[in-house]
């Protein structure tokens, strides 16, 4: 901080994240808390003025303390309230710990295995994002540092629910958004198992949404898209692809949660599956209709 | 376009719109089509690379051709399908014409009066945004250039539905977001009349949402908030405050639309009223609970 002509001047530091080539978001930076390159990617923790501490991988926001509850509650509580008895959970990625934190809240859950490729993301989250990483040492949780793309090829005891909490489709997450991966997840699930996968925004990446839908449909007889707006991520609602190994009558919750939430509610759960015609058409194209 | 060392270089022009003091959105500009100052405000039409042609007032985006259908369909079709017989409609503001365009699609609608303060916005929209302004000359429509804040004080024949399509709460729209204005709207409505008012985003401007809710509640016995994500506006869902002069059992649609829509559907209509707990708490505070 310096003064010029009696006026206090402060350096303005902004981090730019491209929503698309033609539309950017800029976060005012209070402090760069951490910045390093792991064997897999550039990791940064930025204290942002609007969203608080936030994790960036390769310069792209992954999670921010102010609104991470929206993404994590919707990724976890939707499939876990649909599944009749979600005992064994696999988390693919999820290095910040937010997904695990929500999953262990369910009394039905006995075991959460988290397979994260980048140990440094976990370490950094423990240090700078304790609100998210706080349940990584829960007795229900087993943390396994490995490539989940390889791990799902050889699962001995199948899971009830697989939560795919990957980063965006570049770098180490490229192999997540593939038909082969979804096929291996299907085999890693019990006969009544569910998978949910974050899949970017149908508005800005319609082709990705269509491709992911098509790829998952090859291995699961029942697939539904639901959305939630996560302000730190995008100006368009975020997409979650939910897949079941058997046909479901509907994707409505089968039980109420016994703990408080800030975004999720049974009403929000149902509303999240309402898709506007312009997004529904995308999926119809994904079905080849 | 110039070349440097054989590489083609193109000027990068970006328009910056602040979501908050700490978070900005930047639109890549293909062309500045129009820029002038009216007696009320700076008006610009920008051809943006991401959202197509867009109207900016005082540098703040108002509407963009790529996604305006979301805002306009939700502003208009929600109240007009709830009202049993929406014959006489008043549009407050709405200079771009998008609201009028959606309203005249309803066969029940006999008369749409649009009261817009800034004639230049209407002229510019006719010239550069014909997709929006295309129904301003419809025989059902009466365009009245005047201050709607004054107009609603002296309405002879009351309306069935008032659609408040104002700009943000600065400049000429400041007087819209007031208890006095909402009181005058209530008096300008029939006994079973409905009002809907755009009210920014509950996520970024919670105090405004709470204040608007409280102000409307003083004049209407029944008020509900609903939301829709409009990508060109904000990273958080946009808020619409719906008010009825009499108690309603629910805000569900009473009839189906006989024309195609791209965002609105009866399912989306219902889903838009599902509010996450963190927003519901805002309104409870607005009720003094």
- Supply angle C-alpha A81, A82, A84, rounded to 5: 90
Residues 6+ apart with CB under 8 A from B239: B198, B199, B200, B201, B202, B209, B225, B226, B227
Give me the helices (H) in B83-146, please.
98-103, 119-128, 130-133
**Could you report the per-residue pLDDT of B174-186, keeping only the tens digit for each?**
888 899 999 999 9
Average pLDDT score over residue span A26-43:
97
pLDDT for residue A1 is more than 60:
no
Per-residue pLDDT at A284? 84
pTM of the model: 0.95
Which residue, among B100, B135, B131, B132, has the nearest Cα to B115 in the 3D structure?
B100
Distance CA B224, CA B226 (A): 7
| Nearest CB to A276 within list B203, B234, B262 | B262
Write out the residue limits of the CATH 2.30.140.10 domain(s) in chain B: 2-64
The answer to whether residues A224 and A251 touch, using CB atoms and an 8 Å cutoff, is yes
Interface check B239 vs A, CB under 8 A: no
SS3 percent helix, strand, coil of chain A, rounded to 5, is 30, 35, 40
Distance CA A282, CA B259 (A): 20
Q: Which two tokens stand for residue B185?
A: 């709207």
Q: What stretches of B58-180 adopt beta strand conformation (E)?
A: 60-64, 88-93, 111-116, 141-145, 159-165
**A64 beta partners:** A54
Which residue, among B65, B62, B52, B68, has the nearest Cα to B171 in the 3D structure?
B62
**A17 beta partners:** A25
Per-residue pLDDT at A4? 58
**B95 beta partners:** none
Q: Residue B104 CB: number of other CB atoms within 10 A?
A: 20
Average pLDDT score over residue span B123-134:
98
Distance CA B271, CA B45 (A): 33
**Could you report the per-residue pLDDT of B144-173, keeping only the tens digit for each?**
999 999 999 999 999 999 999 998 887 778
Average pLDDT value for chain A? 94
Cβ distance A25 to B25 less than 8 Å, yes or no, reads yes
Question: 3.90.1150.170, 3.40.50.300, 2.30.140.10, 1.10.10.10: which CATH number matches A2-64?
Answer: 2.30.140.10
- Over pLDDT 70: what percentage of chain A? 96
Q: Is A147 a catalytic residue?
A: no
Catalytic residue among A67, A96, A118, A165: A165
> Phi, psi at residue B172, to the nearest 5°?
-65, -15
| Nearest CB to B235 within list A28, A234, A263 | A234
CATH of segment(s) A68-286: 3.40.50.150
Write out the residue limits of the CATH 3.40.50.150 domain(s) in chain B: 68-286
Cβ distance A265 to B274 less than 8 Å, yes or no, reads yes
Segment (H or E) for B212: helix B206-217
Interface check B233 vs A, CB under 8 A: yes
**Could you report the per-residue pLDDT of B77-89, keeping only the tens digit for each?**
999 999 999 999 9
**Could you report the per-residue pLDDT of A158-189, keeping only the tens digit for each?**
999 999 999 888 777 888 889 999 999 999 99
Question: B interface mutation test: which of A25, A251, A274 has the most B CBs within 10 A?
Answer: A274
């Amino acid at each position: 901080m310096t003064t010029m002509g009696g006026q206090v001047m402060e350096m303005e530091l902004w981090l730019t994240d491209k929503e698309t080539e033609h539309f950017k978001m800029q976060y005012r930076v209070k402090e760069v808390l951490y910045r390093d390159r792991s064997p897999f990617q550039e990791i940064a923790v930025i204290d942002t003025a609007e969203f608080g501490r936030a994790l960036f991988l390769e310069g792209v926001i992954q999670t921010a303390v102010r609104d991470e509850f929206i993404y994590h509650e919707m990724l976890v509580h939707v499939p876990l309230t649909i599944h009749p008895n979600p005992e064994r959970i696999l988390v693919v990625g999820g290095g910040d710990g937010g997904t695990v934190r929500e999953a262990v809240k369910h009394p039905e859950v006995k075991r959460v295995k988290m397979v994260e490729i980048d140990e440094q993301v976990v370490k950094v989250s423990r240090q700078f994002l304790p609100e998210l990483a706080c349940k990584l040492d829960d007795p229900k949780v087993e943390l396994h540092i490995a490539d989940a793309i390889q791990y799902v090829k050889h699962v001995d005891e199948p899971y009830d629910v697989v939560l795919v909490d990957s980063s965006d489709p570049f770098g180490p997450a490229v192999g997540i958004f593939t038909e082969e991966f979804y096929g291996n997840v299907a085999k890693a699930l019990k006969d009544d198992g569910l998978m949910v996968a974050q899949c970017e925004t149908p508005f800005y990446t319609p082709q990705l949404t269509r491709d992911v839908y098509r790829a998952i449909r090859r291995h699961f007889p029942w697939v539904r898209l639901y959305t939630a707006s996560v302000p730190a991520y995008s100006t368009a609602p975020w997409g979650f692809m939910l897949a079941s190994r058997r046909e479901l009558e509907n994707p409505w919750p089968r039980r109420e949660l016994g703990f408080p939430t800030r975004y999720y509610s049974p009403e929000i759960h149902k509303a999240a599956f309402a898709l506007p015609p312009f997004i529904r058409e995308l999926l119809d194209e994904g079905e080849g209709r």
